Structure 1
Amino acid sequence: MNHYLNRRDFFKLGGLATAATLLPGLTYGKNDEIIIGHNTHKYRIRKGWGVLDAAQNPVNDCHEMVEDAKGRLILLTNETRNNVLIYDKSGKLLDTWGNSYPGGHGLTIGGEGADQFLLICDTDRHQVIKTDLKGKVLFKIDYPKETGVYDYPTQFKPTETAVNHANGDIYVVDGYGLNYVMQYDTKGKLIRHWGGKDEFKCNHGVIVDTRNKQKPTLLVTSRVENCWKRYTLDGKYISTIALPGTFICRPVIKGETLFGAAFRSTTEGNVNSGYITILDKNDKVVSTPGGSEPIYTNGKLEPQFKQDPFNVFMHPHDAYMDSDDNIYVPQWSSKKTYPIKLERV
């Protein structure tokens, strides 16, 4: 479980007069509840949400989370005793399945209603696996030999997928492999590919951005470059969303809000690191729960860094926002902790 300093212990450290003076992204609610974030996006930390009996339902790396049409929260972990944990929004466990995804990493949901499906990226199996919501395998995408750039399966380590709901096309990014973007049709037939290590430095995540209904685009992570890159749906570069200091994971969109988890920043080591980055409809950072206040100078975002004295986050890997604007944060390399819930205030 995560451990936090309480308010009294925090004030003992260095004789701080007020936490808010030095840490503008930290305040307190009733009963010393910790509230993090900035501006219009502040969140109360709900400690203990989703914590289970590790002997019965263990996790290893909690990589990603999605929500189905029934409002169930589906979590992917690379613990093969139960790769998939399904929660309700109170944190109650509803179901589990899966024991064959040792590299379970990326989780995307597609389809509608009873026809919803999951896409699981497994970096150890070097595959993308399409399943129904109960875990039945529908088809697999193996290493893309037909591109001419992959010579053998282990070069392909897919980290994320995205679905174009308009036509069913599937985009796959190979963030731990050769860093290409592959576009497939609904049956898993390759349409095109682009990118590579000259274009991306760990293209860890991808999403189809439909906030502009007339002109949907593709956002692709380049994590080592601290940015998301925007493309047309057929792979032509448009622009870059710079997030200096932030090793950003996959982009996530809810309504007009764009956000993502960052497992560390360039100004820190790899111990208890990371925060959440939230952007508005104009792709401007408005809040960084667990991180420094977003400041723009001459239109450019200043480098950000972790600012989390209570060690709320260890290594955030994903963020999911529900219909009440609450955020759920799966974490990797975090001592087998369960996801953290941030409740919008």
Structure 2
Amino acid sequence: MKPILLTLLFPLLAHAHGPDNHAGPNSAEHIGKNVILGHGDLKYSADFHWAKVSPDTAPVINSHALAEDKNGLIYLVTDHPENAFLVFKKDGTFVRAFGKGLLGGHSLEIFEKDGIEYLVHVDCGWHFPAEGDAVPTNGKITILKTDGTIVRSLPTPQDMGICEPGLKKFMPCDVAYTPQGTLLIADGYASDYIYEVTLTGELVRRWGGPKKDDPANLSNAHGVSLDLSNPEKPLVWVPSRNETALKAFTLDGEYIETIELPGAYAGQLFFRDDKVYTAVCWSKENGTGKRLQGSGFLLVMDRKTKKVLSAPGGTEPVYKDGVLQPLMQDPSKPFFHGHDLYVDAEGSIYLGEWAAQRRYPCKLTLTK
């Protein structure tokens, strides 16, 4: 990315991640405890008061992303300077907080290697104080054990001498652990490149990036997710969020296909059984107009056909001649900005939101 492009990008990112929202901690009173959202056979009861914890005990700013460990505990990464991680039982019981001083929490990954479970912290470079606006700086990737012990921080592209000329920031959005035991890192707030590195920080390859007038173009590569349903041909899915599209690549970075999601600024994908899930951070006015602040919803897709089956918090998905019609937020506006989600083995969705008045994740339970 050229320096002038980075200069133009930063004001957009400041608008997207900088303002601190002081409307009230864990505000969800206008929604109620359990609301039914979704369409067809995929309707969910949404509990906006799932997390049983006080902001005095475990404060959050943005509830950015979630994952589950082998003991069935749900880990939330947040960007509050007092605690990078909050841990919950699936019923919302609070277990512990840790990671003070790990700033800019935006995504996480849990993986097991040689019988030890590890936790990856993605610092996107937007660092919040306890009160006030975020400041953009260089992000980083940190590997920990799930008990909170820091193993190492990985070198940035600048440290490795492989960044684009004039690009002074590394601002990763997401990370995925591969079958080869490496990490894929999506630098979605700076270069839009995908870096594959070893667990000790050696570069394996770099691919992606902005490609004008090319279907493989990435613009705000907000996530990176692996579909391993075909072990012979694993796919890497990357949202090109500014294009309201999801794009598939091989592990080597060869472009495969694009899924258009008109009206939906979707993030990283989560694969569970025969479904694909993603959180939508912004809706468009009437599905085709300007991007709306304070909007967002979820998408549940068929894993084989990639068709949208349900849009909890959004309008019902409609296809005409095989083409998805523009989606938009439901008039009830239950969500602020869907940022990332986790789906457990029972099909329950744990949703983290950005700029959502410092509220904790919502749990959506599939109705019977």
Q: For the superposition of Structure 1 and Structure 2, which TM-score range results when normalised by the shorter chain? A: 0.7 to 0.9
What are the ranges of 5 or more consecutive residues in structure 1 without an aligned counterpart?
7-31
- Contact persistence 1:328–1:342 (CA under 8 A): yes
Shift of 1:271: 3.4
**Cα displacement string for residues 9-66 of structure 1 (whole angstroms, at most 9, x for unaligned residues):** xxxxxxxxxxxxxxxxxxxxxxx95211011211011231104211121100110000
Pairing partner for 1:4 from 20, 27, 30: 30
Q: State the distance in 2 between where 1:116 and 1:150 align.
A: 34
What SS does structure 1 have at the residue aligned with 2:44?
Answer: strand
| Contact 1:211–1:256 (Cα < 8 Å) also in 2 | no
Aligned to 1:106: 107
User: Are positions 1:255 and 2:273 aligned together?
Assistant: yes
1:296 paired residue number: 319
The Cα shift of 1:150 comes to 3.5
2:187 maps to 1:174: yes
Q: Distance in 2 between matches of 1:47 and 1:126?
A: 30
Which segment is superposed worse, 244-253 or 51-60? 51-60
Map of 1:1-345 to 2, 5 A cutoff?
Answer: 1-4=27-30, 33-111=34-112, 114-124=115-125, 125-145=138-158, 146=160, 148-151=162-165, 154-164=168-178, 166-198=179-211, 199-267=217-285, 269-281=291-303, 282-309=305-332, 311-345=333-367
Q: Secondary structure at the match of 1:78?
A: strand
Contact 1:143 1:152 in 2 (8 A): no
- The secondary structure found in structure 2 opposite 1:249 is strand
TM-score, length basis structure 1: 0.87
Counterpart of 1:123 in structure 2: which amino acid? Answer: C
SS at match of 2:205: strand
User: Could you give the per-residue CA deviations for residues 198-236 of structure 1, whole angstroms, max 9, x where no partner exists?
Assistant: 221100000111122331111011000111110011000
Which secondary structure state, in structure 2, belongs to the residue aligned with residue 234 of structure 1? coil
1:113 CA displacement: 8.7
Could you say if the C-alpha distance between residues 308 and 74 of structure 1 is closer, same or farther in structure 2, counting changes exceeding 3 Å? farther
Measure how far apart 1:101 and its partner are.
2.2
Which region of structure 1 is more displaced relative to structure 2, 144-153 or 42-51?
A: 144-153
Residue type matched to 2:321 in 1? N
Q: Distance in 2 between matches of 1:215 and 1:123?
A: 30
Q: Is the 8 A contact 1:84 1:97 kept in 2?
A: yes
Amino acid at match of 1:288: A
How has the CA–CA distance of structure 1 residues 213 and 327 changed in structure 2, closer, same or farther, with 3 Å as cutoff? same
Task: Report the AA paired with residue 308 of structure 2.
Answer: V
Percent identity over paired residues = 30
1:308-343 Cα distance to aligned partner (Å, 9 max, x none) = 41x321111111111111111111111100101111
Equivalent AA in structure 2 for residue 306 of structure 1: Q
Q: Deviations over 1:266-307 (max 9, x none)?
A: 326543310001111221110000001111111111110001
Aligned-residue offset at 1:137 = 1.5
For residue 154 of structure 1, report the CA deviation from its aligned partner: 4.2
Equivalent position SS for 2:242: helix
Deviates further, 311-320 or 84-93: 311-320
Query: Number of matched residues?
Result: 318
How far apart in 2 are the matches of 1:3 and 1:103?
28
Structure 2: distance between partners of 1:286 and 1:52: 33
**Who is 2:214 aligned against?**
none
Alignment partner of 1:224: what SS?
helix
Instruction: Specify the alignment match of 1:9 in structure 2.
Output: none
CA contact (8 A) 1:51 1:338 kept: no
Contact 1:126 1:153 in 2 (8 A): no
Structure 2 unmatched ranges of 5 or more: 1-26, 126-137, 212-216
- Between the aligned partners of 1:3 and 1:269, the Cα distance in structure 2 is 25
**What root-mean-square deviation, in Å, do the aligned CA atoms of Structure 1 and Structure 2 show?**
1.8
Q: Is 1:69–1:113's contact at 8 Å kept on the other side of the alignment?
A: no
Q: Which amino acid aligns with 2:198?
A: D
The CA distance in 2 between the partners of 1:141 and 1:270, in whole Å, is 36
- 1:72 Cα offset (Å): 0.1
Q: What CA deviation, in whole Å up to 9, does each residue of 1:79-105 have, x standing for no partner?
A: 011110000011001111011222111
